[in-house]
């Protein structure tokens, strides 16, 4: 049914618009943050969330959504605002080139953009359009998608308050490419606890199915995988030549937070900042084997409620 509707994209996006409005009204006027967290958690993981005495990683992420607040995290979650923080703490050399910033989709002039680029929504997760060749894109469809981004109040969906006060914008960045990563750029996601990077999640070859692996800070290939449903590689990846520098960057950027995931790219022997994520998979992803849900939870020391 979805495929049929996508062929008639005007109807498809009209229905999505109506659905979004209904859900927004539900989350805003019927629900509340704790109820939203409890309902979404039960629906996604099939059990009740433990908020009184959380032990596992999933439960502690939900606790942080409801009981922890740091205004700096809002700017860090803003795909545009975080660039200022990176310049101040690390320098602009770690930032991908910014081509343009738009407050409205109507401001986007494709004729002024290069053939390849990336568009991102600043106030949510998963708001990305990777354009390798603008002449081959269905821009009517993509523009409708971006208008939907700007309408959405992403924070209402799963109670991720860091997105609530971010000004909805679209940024256009340079398209990064590496001959050695033809199946998509490899993500290096550092899981940092109390300012200490503990594990690096490596996601690669997304275009051909993808794999997820975790490494400790000595680049030992760990037994577990998660938080997405992708397989673990049978062989370890080579350690990036500038891994120590990547570690240092993650340590600097995570120093003010009980937990944050620092996402980096390593392209043609150069490190690029990706984003900072406070609630990966909104706390609904799990680790395999299951014992690692508790092991990762043990690393996250919850702060005093605020």
Q: How many CB atoms lie within 10 A of CB 154?
A: 19
Q: Is the pLDDT of residue 270 over 50?
A: yes
Give the per-residue pLDDT at 29: 46
Q: Which residue did the predictor score with more confidence, 265 or 30?
A: 265
Question: pLDDT digit string (tens) for 187-215?
Answer: 999 999 999 999 999 999 887 888 999 99
Model confidence, pTM = 0.89
Rounded CA separation 67/253 (Å)? 22
Give the per-residue pLDDT at 229: 87
Q: 294, 278, 301: which is closest to 65 by C-alpha? A: 278
Question: pLDDT digit string (tens) for 40-96?
Answer: 999 999 999 999 999 999 999 999 999 999 999 999 999 999 999 999 999 999 999
Q: Which residues touch 149 (CB under 8 Å, ≥6 apart)?
A: 121, 123, 124, 127, 168, 170
Strand partners, 251: none
**Beta strand spans in 73-204 (E):** 98-102, 117-121, 128-131, 170-174, 187-193, 196-204
- CA 70 from chain centre, in angstroms, equals 18
Q: What is the mean pLDDT of residues 139-158?
A: 92
Q: Which residues touch 252 (CB under 8 Å, ≥6 apart)?
A: 89, 90
Give the per-residue pLDDT at 232: 94
């Amino acid at each position: 049914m979805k495929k049929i509707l996508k062929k008639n994209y005007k109807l498809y996006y009209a229905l999505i618009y109506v659905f979004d409005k209904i859900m927004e009204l539900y989350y805003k006027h019927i629900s509340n943050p704790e109820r939203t967290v409890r309902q979404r958690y039960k629906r996604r993981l099939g059990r009740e969330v433990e908020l009184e005495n959380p032990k596992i990683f999933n439960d502690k992420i939900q606790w942080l959504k409801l009981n922890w607040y740091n205004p700096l995290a809002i700017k860090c979650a803003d795909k545009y605002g975080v660039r200022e923080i990176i310049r101040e703490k690390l320098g602009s050399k770690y930032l991908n080139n910014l081509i343009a910033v738009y407050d409205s989709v109507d401001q986007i002039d494709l004729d002024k953009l290069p053939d390849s680029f990336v568009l991102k929504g600043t106030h949510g997760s998963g708001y990305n359009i990777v354009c390798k060749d603008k002449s081959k894109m269905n821009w009517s469809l993509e523009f409708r998608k971006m208008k939907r981004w700007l309408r959405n109040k992403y924070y209402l969906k799963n109670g991720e308050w860091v997105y609530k006060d971010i000004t909805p914008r679209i940024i256009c960045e340079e398209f990064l490419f590496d001959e050695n990563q033809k199946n998509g750029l490899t993500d290096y996601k550092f899981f940092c606890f109390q300012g200490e990077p503990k594990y690096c999640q490596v996601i690669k070859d997304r275009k051909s199915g993808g794999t997820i692996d975790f490494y400790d800070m000595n680049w030992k290939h760990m037994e577990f995988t998660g938080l997405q449903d992708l397989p673990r590689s049978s062989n370890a990846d080579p350690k990036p030549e500038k891994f120590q520098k990547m570690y240092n960057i993650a340590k600097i950027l995570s120093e003010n937070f009980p937990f944050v995931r620092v996402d980096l790219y390593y392209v043609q022997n150069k490190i690029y900042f990706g984003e900072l994520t406070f609630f990966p998979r909104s706390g609904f992803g799990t680790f395999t084997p299951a014992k690692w849900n508790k092991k990762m939870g043990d690393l996250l020391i919850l702060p005093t409620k605020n």
